[in-house]
Structure 1
Amino acid sequence: MSLRKLFYCLLALSISIPALAQEKTGNFTVDFETFSLENGLQVILHQDKSDPVVAVALTVHVGSAREKEGRTGFAHLFEHLLFLESENLGKGGLDKLSARIGGSGANGSTSRDRTNYFQTVPSDALEKMIWAEADKLGFFINTVTEPVLAKEKQVVKNEKRQNYDNRPYGHTFYVIDRNLYPKGHPYHWQVIGSLEDLQNASLQDVKDFYNKWYVPNNVILTISGDFDKEQAKEWVHKYFDEIPKGPQIERLEKQMVSLEKTKKLYHEDNFAKLPELTLAWPSVYSYHEDTYALEILSNYMADGKNAPLYKKLVEEEKLSANVYMFNYTSELAGQLMVQVRAYDSKDLDSVQKAIQETFTNFEKNGIPEKDLKRIKAGLETSFYNSISSVLGKGFQLAQYQIFANDPNYINKEVEKLLAVTPEDVMRVYNKYIRGKNYVATSFVPKDQLELALENSEKAEVVEEKIIEGAEDEVNPNQQATYKKTPSNFDRSIEPPYHGKPELNIPDIWEMNLPSGMKVLGITNKEVPLVQFSLEIKGGQLLEKPAKAGISNMLAELMTKGTAKRTPAELEEAIELLGASIYINAETEKITISGNTLSKNYSETIELVKEILLEPRWDQKEFELIKQQTLSQLQQEKGDPNSIAQNEFKKLIYGEKNILSYNELGTPETVNNISLEDLQNYYEENLSPLASSFLVVGAIEKDRALAPVRAISANWPPKNIDFPEITEIRSPEKSKIYFYDVPGAKQSVFAFGSPALSATHEDFYPAEVMNYRLGGGGFASRLTQELREGKGYTYGIRSRFIDRSYIGPFMISSGVRTNITYEAAELVRDILKEYPSTFSQEDLDVTKSYMIKSNARRFETLGAKLNMLREINDYGYEYDFIKNRESKVEELNVLDIQDLARKYVNPEKMYYLIVGDAETQLEKLEDLGYGKPILLNPDNAEN
């Protein structure tokens, strides 16, 4: 875990006895209180009254490092199991509860060393959450039966296929960790585990794991947000006190590693289109004294235009579009890594040579003081960003308590980071990199072994074979019986709500400047930050098909220096302010957005002005961006998810429509674009008359406007002609389209049709209708039936994509390959039945979620900025959230059914599947929509 994530975490005081703590960083103070129950449960409370929400997190000190080889993946499997059912919440557990109370959605994550479960809910539901979390810890394991375990194994295996087996470079860390950490080391295997181990896990194995690790004395409960402290303590005692303490659990000893020799390994990657080199040296565990200098070393060597590795590999040698270096630390050990995805056909020996030459040069020159200052400057902003939500504070409190185990560590960490000197950076370089053995992996495209490092050995990678009927079907309706755990009160009674959170819509101020630019702002002083976005209407919409991708290239080039500053000088000026400035091209706009300390706002916007109005038009940077774009397009050819997105747009909008193009363009159009084309696009299509400046944070209106007025006064307005969007219609009859990726371990679905624009009066009602179909996460039918019922997928969702023109309704998922037909058939049937089966109960749950979840709408600066964006893009009223509450209340079951029939018609839909044609294509004709159309019959792009 990187220092940036950990450095500004908030540390709880020792919780062996009740304590009250205040930690200070600069002028910012965070109050929290900690105490322990007799059973060992550690509790951290942090009050934040700024929004009517509260985050509850349960963190268990167990991850994959506490597993045994041959029984891997258990910690992560439990993360899944604990959401399914508990004795008193019943089937669906937290997922059903979350939908009713307007929560953010029950979620969790697993690392090498801990598993956490978390959710943010309206403050009136805190007792319900404490009740639910206690049920997980003390009243859960009896609900895990053979059928439950069998189904969830399939879900986890689908997650592994989606995130590791069916994507480019997905096995990199598997190869690194198996060779960096010796057999028997807790980090030798992956957190996800192996398919074989998951399949072999018995019910008794699962219960033994739970009974050993899921005990109060191995758990931290964190409550952060708007709540009454004494009342919360009372509820914690009520629901957790009687859960028995488990056996004493000793901390694991640190297990740092060393290598006797350098290991070079290669793997032919079925999905990779570019060669990738990864180097890994043994490093240090989290909070080791060398962590701080190693983080700064990594940042200096690879991050940004000033980084030596970037200058050498990207700018001078033109070997790659980017280079990454990071210090990945965990509780017991760590690894220092350099990763480079080279351009097409580049030999990885040349990449390694360039890396070594850069290191040799560093040995002579070290890190300059100004770069050390620049790197440290961004940390203050990172700190405030890390605590911008109550959930973030809760995470960080638990993280420090588990891994630092030191009541004052945040003070020590600040001191140690700020004390890092150039000599420290050189010392850790010499200690961990110079002349040291490492693991090197070469992941190369199929049949391009000549690109791998010389003298590399074949890596051991276990790849699943596609076998029809390889996994048993699961009966989701099978009823399980189990003996309930006794309690001293009736836990089956759900606690009541307490109070009613008020929906406090932030005050919005507005100004129209003489140039025609509109400014919208919200003043909010919770943290000393400002976020902003200059939104310039146009983007891809103003492109010509022959020059598709030009707005993306312009956006990339605008950050590469100004008339006054070189690219490196511009980057340095931004970083010295502790700020970030990004430019993105989208389908309907180009945005210049950023994040800065309030005290540095004016200086940051001055740089925005310079970027916008004084472009550099650097030919060298333009050629570099063109090369990087072509490389990215090449990468996407091997990624089934990117293929699905790109092919789906072609089906929706038709190949002649500019909206059907990849926003990056195509290799042909990118090669057609010149620097003069970018200059012409800039002159013709960027105007304050089509622009709005959005700003939120710790800044008053007058101070926010001052530097924006300077942009407006120096930016000549011009009228822009926006093209008419051709009317887009659904197909008269559904058709199946298939894109072949030989050997794919999953089939990626993109099903849908043109629907409606975000400005249409039915758009929000349609979103309400979609909540129970596929927009409500675990509360949706698609998830319940395909994931929870059948185990076909790790995740599936449906949504209406918001655009000012007609956007599509889209269903997206990745399903295991050998049930492609069955999954597609089930999706079709759910869509067919949805209008006639949507019930009053479905409507009640939907209304409860849609209204109650509004309490979470404005918690962070990002959420407030997004609200301004919706108002600006679609002409919504300032109080559109309250208006939507009224609309939700007015909807009835018949309204929802009519909306479903109108906008979600499975008989007039494109069914796009990206997968293995050899094993899956033929069966799809049985869906009843004719013979599937193979989009790449000669497989020319593979």
Structure 2
Amino acid sequence: MKHSYRIIIFSIAFIFISCDDGKKDNNTSDNVATDISIPFEKHTLDNGLTVIFHEDKSDPVVAVALTAHVGSAREKEGKTGFAHLFEHLLFLESENLGKGGLDAMSARIGGSGANGSTSRDVTNYYQTVPKDALEKMIWAEADKLGYFINTVTEPVLAKEKQVVKNEKRQSVDNNAYGHESYVIGKNLYPEGHPYNWQVIGSLEDLQNASLQDVKDFYNDWYTPNNAVLTIAGDFDKTQALQWVKKYFGEIKRGKEVKKAQVKPIELTASKKLFYEDNFAQTPRLNLTWPTVVNYHKDSYALDILGTYLSRGKKAPLNQIVIETDKVADQARAYHYTSELAGQFSIVARAYDNVDLDSVYESVYKALKQFEENGISQNDLDRIKTKKETEFYQGLSSVLGKGFQLTQYEILAGDAGFLSEDVKNMQAVTVEDVQNAYNIYIKDKSYVMTSFVPKGQTELAIVNSKEAKVKEEKIIEGAEESFDTSVAATYERSPSSFDRSIEPEYGAAPTLEVPSVYQDKLDSGLKVLGIEDNEIPLVQLQLDVKGGMLFEEIEKTGVSNMLAQLMNKGTMNRTPAQLEEAIEQLGASISVRASDESLSVNASSLSRNYNKVMSLVSEILLEPRWDKDEFELLKKQTISRIQQQKASPRAIASNEFDKLIFGKDHILAQNNLGTEKSVANITLEDLKDYYTKYITPQLASFKIVGAIDQKKVIESLQNINENWVKRDVTLPTISSFPELTAPQIYFYDVPNAKQSILTFGNATVTSDHEDFYKTQILNYRLGGGGFASQLTQELREGKGYTYGIRSAFNSSPKAGKFVINSGVRSNVTFESTALIKEILSNYGSSFTEDDMEVTKSYLIKSSARSFESQSAKLRMLTNIDENNLPVDYAIQRQEEVTSLNVNEMKRLINDYIKPDKMIYLIVGDKNTQFNKLEKLGLGKPILLN
């Protein structure tokens, strides 16, 4: 999310067209020529800024994205991580918005939250806001390019270095297989190649970066002629262009930026490396080959090759590695391209104690199978149809459309590259896929890594060399101190007008609640729907209440296993046949279980809706009960449970539920089960659960998309007539332990680079009359992102964490208030003490300004409430689960408006009780445990 270094992967746009030979299976997609386009206008200012407009009046929102053509590839060895560092810095302060001004404004205007991402090639800054705030956003974004760098001081830089290092600890150092990409990059790309290092850079380079280094990098790359401003949504293009010229026009042009040129990567021999991973519970194998750049003619065939090799029952990797040889629970192949190079990877996560040489042999057999059989025309068509659906899903928001245009403009050289992209994908043949394999994969050199658990180097590929990875040591007081309250002194950048004056709002959008239809069928099945014709897609969700609530503790995991098995074929279709039928329609259908429900989820092209519903009916009413699939699922589930033991965050989540609900409460259990309970589950247990509890009386069907109510009801007739009613009610759950005093617990993960903090208590359910009020009171505490006190104090003020949030997470059966954060290990005590202090003072310190910001955000952000199909589906779920009226969003606006500070203080005192909370820390006991007793939260209890 915000300030992360994740790489944005843009959809590959294409339309699939096929000829009808007169032999059409009942579940074949109605593939027809479709005219897909993203209309846009392009302007170039005198200073070189490229401006792209896409008008979309479907929702009263507008997305604004500023993208600089600078990523880690523009850095130099020894000075890595600068692009990602600027992704952070550019949000903090500018000459005209002031310190924290962008985040404060985002809260006031009801924005989605100023966000960013960095890749090898570009850095993005983006936000979706109500349309009345467009001029404000243009004003704010202009400051990033012209009125920012003077505000960066030594204390600001020192603090943000800590935040970035915390992000690296969270995403890399404290995760199983976290260093895999680093090892591959160092060995796939030669020294000096701009992809040799990681986007996030090294901790050492970040620490050594001087203020002048940082300013020089900014002045070189963050210039109008190296940036694209994209605006998409409901706005007036003529007025918007005037604003862009006003705020961006007088920013000076930078140096001319030459297109980077790098020779294709060639490996003269394969490289084999291993690494003992502190967090891995099972070994993992990775093979990576060098390939081609974005939009190269072979990149399309390689993309399809990756999908074919690993996705689905028929995929060679699945057939051999997972199902026949049973050496891994996961095997996938994918092609990843960038501006200067590409790479093709196969990754297989082995079962516990499996030798990776046997995994490699299995992968090799799967590749040999592909060499012999290739890909069929039917499979090629199936993959293309699926990608059409995925493309539409990428365009479901104005931000998605804006990103697509920007991607084409920067990396393809033309925002209108869509038609060429379409043609390239359409043109891929079965011969192209085979040729791509022969050119880039078959008998070619690769980088192979073996990541194995500590002390299990014997599981690595033979003759592998140890990979060099520099691990951070946990040292008390190692981080430098800083004072971010020191104001920067500088001479303001000149401007022809007073830029410190924030623009006024435009005409305020009104909240328009989508029209909802409701019905109840003879079987007892409830139906809720919204017709939405913006894109030719349908999303649906059929929920059956129950989940773990019907399980016995010694057999936890039954509902999850049942959901997984329902995905594996039907009475009349093998797992492979079912999967192929779904993919031929370009659809996705999946069954999954949560703590309190089992759900069937599907999305499809609207033209294929009836055929998709026919398959949904089969899956729901005609389970296959495949014994071989059941045994494989058991093995995979046990492996997933083992993998969770490698994740400090998963450990924290599982242990926290036991502490607040009571270890013997059904809702305290992991819905995957335990290794012991899963081993005890039989196929008869699943059949028994299905027969007793999967019933329409406990079910609801929610649908959003380009389909009308009449067709929806007609599509449900088979389910309505053939789904057996059963006399069953939800069980009453037992009460939770009542906390009368705080208690601190510790779970030891040796050498953890971060401590995972999880604090909170049981609270109101989602259908309680005060539930929405808890959401309101939490906004300024920890639910408002950078507008929240927890973030401002622990991240912005102290640099202790990359992120922290608080939330009231509730369902109709249970609720919990939770604070989550990963903090650097050597400030575990200080972070816990500061959170406790903030909680204790939150009610007494809540001000009129806090009230005003909360109201402004919650009321104005409602303009974004129903933009996507997913958002509309969540709306229907809220109505169904919590017995809310269709216009509950409007009623909530009225509720927010009527609140005052005194009422908020009462609510805070009722629901935020730091003296009656569980404080759980998952971290390194050796360095952090002993001092925790000084917190005054009771004597720490060690859980393991």
Query: Do the structures match in fold with TM over 0.5?
Result: yes
Distance 1:3 1:786 in 2: 27
Counterparts in 2 of 1:461-610, with a 5 A limit?
461-610=469-618
Q: After the TM superposition, list the runs of 4 or more consecutive aligned residues in structure 1 that deviate by more than 6 angstroms.
A: 1-4
Q: Is 2:866 the counterpart of 1:858?
A: yes
Q: State the secondary structure of the residue aligned to 2:829.
A: helix
Counterparts in 2 of 1:267-416, with a 5 A limit?
267-406=275-414, 408-416=416-424
Q: State the secondary structure of the residue aligned to 1:324.
A: strand
User: Per-residue deviation at 1:3?
Assistant: 12
Question: What is aligned with 2:103?
Answer: 95
Q: State the secondary structure of the residue aligned to 2:716.
A: helix
Q: State the secondary structure of the residue aligned to 1:72.
A: coil
Counterparts in 2 of 1:556-705, with a 5 A limit?
556-705=564-713
Q: Is the 8 A contact 2:532 2:704 kept in 1?
A: yes
Matching residue's letter, 1:361: Q
Distance 1:723 1:289 in 2: 58
Q: State the secondary structure of the residue aligned to 2:810.
A: coil
Question: What is aligned with 1:15?
Answer: none
Quote the sequence identity (%): 58
Q: Could you list the per-position Cα deviations for residues 107-156 of structure 1 after superposition, in whole angstroms to 9, with x for gaps in the alignment?
A: 00000000000000000000000000001110000000000000000000
Distance 1:359 1:394 in 2: 38
Q: Could you list the per-position Cα deviations for residues 257-304 of structure 1 after superposition, in whole angstroms to 9, with x for gaps in the alignment?
A: 010111000000000000000000011111111001101111111111
Matching residue's letter, 1:316: T
Q: Is the 8 A contact 2:406 2:415 kept in 1?
A: no
Distance 1:140 1:9 in 2: 40
Q: Could you list the per-position Cα deviations for residues 790-817 of structure 1 after superposition, in whole angstroms to 9, with x for gaps in the alignment?
A: 0000000000002102311000000000
User: Per-residue deviation at 1:483?
Assistant: 1.8
Q: Is the 8 A contact 1:756 1:805 kept in 2?
A: no
Distance 1:29 1:929 in 2: 60
Q: Is the 8 A contact 2:855 2:897 kept in 1?
A: yes
User: Per-residue deviation at 1:406?
Assistant: 3.5
Q: Is the 8 A contact 1:2 1:326 kept in 2?
A: no
Counterparts in 2 of 1:61-76, with a 5 A limit?
61-76=69-84
Q: Is the 8 A contact 2:95 2:143 kept in 1?
A: yes
Q: Is the 8 A contact 1:9 1:386 kept in 2?
A: no
Q: State the secondary structure of the residue aligned to 2:818.
A: strand
Matching residue's letter, 1:649: D
Question: What is aligned with 2:930?
Answer: 922
Matching residue's letter, 1:202: S
Distance 1:189 1:217 in 2: 26
1:839 pairs with one of 836, 847, 856: 847
Q: Is 2:251 the counterpart of 1:246?
A: no
Question: What is aligned with 1:5?
Answer: 10
Q: Is the 8 A contact 1:276 1:339 kept in 2?
A: yes
Question: What is aligned with 1:147?
Answer: 155
User: Per-residue deviation at 1:727?
Assistant: 2.2
Q: Could you list the per-position Cα deviations for residues 480-518 of structure 1 after superposition, in whole angstroms to 9, with x for gaps in the alignment?
A: 222211110000000000101010100001111000001
Matching residue's letter, 2:13: Y
Matching residue's letter, 1:292: Y
Q: Is the 8 A contact 2:14 2:426 kept in 1?
A: no
Q: Is 2:462 the counterpart of 1:454?
A: yes
Matching residue's letter, 1:344: D
Classify 1:2/1:327 alpha carbon distance in 2 versus 1 (closer, same or farther; 3 Å).
farther
Question: What is aligned with 1:16?
Answer: none
1:200 pairs with one of 194, 205, 208: 208
Distance 1:144 1:907 in 2: 40
Q: Is the 8 A contact 1:9 1:393 kept in 2?
A: no
Q: State the secondary structure of the residue aligned to 1:907.
A: helix
Distance 2:438 2:732 in 1: 62
Q: Is the 8 A contact 2:409 2:416 kept in 1?
A: no
Question: What is aligned with 2:895?
Answer: 887
Classify 1:423/1:396 alpha carbon distance in 2 versus 1 (closer, same or farther; 3 Å).
same
Counterparts in 2 of 1:210-221, with a 5 A limit?
210-221=218-229
Distance 1:338 1:100 in 2: 46
Q: State the secondary structure of the residue aligned to 1:864.
A: helix
Matching residue's letter, 2:449: T
Question: What is aligned with 1:823?
Answer: 831
User: Per-residue deviation at 1:66?
Assistant: 0.2
Q: State the secondary structure of the residue aligned to 1:255.
A: coil
Distance 1:918 1:730 in 2: 31
Question: What is aligned with 1:756?
Answer: 764
Counterparts in 2 of 1:28-107, with a 5 A limit?
28-107=36-115
Distance 1:407 1:613 in 2: 47
Distance 2:256 2:427 in 1: 38
Distance 1:617 1:283 in 2: 42
Distance 2:535 2:416 in 1: 22
Distance 2:569 2:133 in 1: 50
User: Per-residue deviation at 1:730?
Assistant: 4.0
Q: Could you list the per-position Cα deviations for residues 224-256 of structure 1 after superposition, in whole angstroms to 9, with x for gaps in the alignment?
A: 000011000110011000000001000101432
Q: Is 2:222 the counterpart of 1:229?
A: no
Matching residue's letter, 1:76: H
Matching residue's letter, 1:813: S
Q: State the secondary structure of the residue aligned to 1:5.
A: coil
- RMSD of aligned C-alpha atoms? 1.3
Q: State the secondary structure of the residue aligned to 1:250.
A: coil
Distance 2:733 2:344 in 1: 50
Q: Is 2:905 the counterpart of 1:897?
A: yes
Q: Is the 8 A contact 2:10 2:407 kept in 1?
A: no
1:787 pairs with one of 787, 790, 795: 795
Matching residue's letter, 1:255: K
Matching residue's letter, 1:878: V
Structure 2: unaligned runs, 5 residues or longer: 1-5, 16-31
Distance 2:794 2:809 in 1: 22
Distance 1:476 1:934 in 2: 36
Q: Could you list the per-position Cα deviations for residues 429-460 of structure 1 after superposition, in whole angstroms to 9, with x for gaps in the alignment?
A: 11001111000000000110110000000000
Distance 1:806 1:892 in 2: 28
Q: State the secondary structure of the residue aligned to 1:647.
A: helix
Distance 2:836 2:594 in 1: 31
TM-score normalised by the chain length of structure 1: 0.97
Question: What is aligned with 2:27?
Answer: none
Q: Is the 8 A contact 2:14 2:421 kept in 1?
A: no
Classify 1:474/1:805 alpha carbon distance in 2 versus 1 (closer, same or farther; 3 Å).
farther
Structure 1: unaligned runs, 5 residues or longer: 11-23, 937-942
Q: State the secondary structure of the residue aligned to 1:28.
A: coil
Q: Could you list the per-position Cα deviations for residues 44-67 of structure 1 after superposition, in whole angstroms to 9, with x for gaps in the alignment?
A: 000000000000000000000000
Q: State the secondary structure of the residue aligned to 2:672.
A: coil
Q: State the secondary structure of the residue aligned to 1:800.
A: strand
TM-score normalised by the chain length of structure 2: 0.97
Distance 2:737 2:187 in 1: 54
Q: Is the 8 A contact 1:796 1:813 kept in 2?
A: yes
Matching residue's letter, 1:505: V
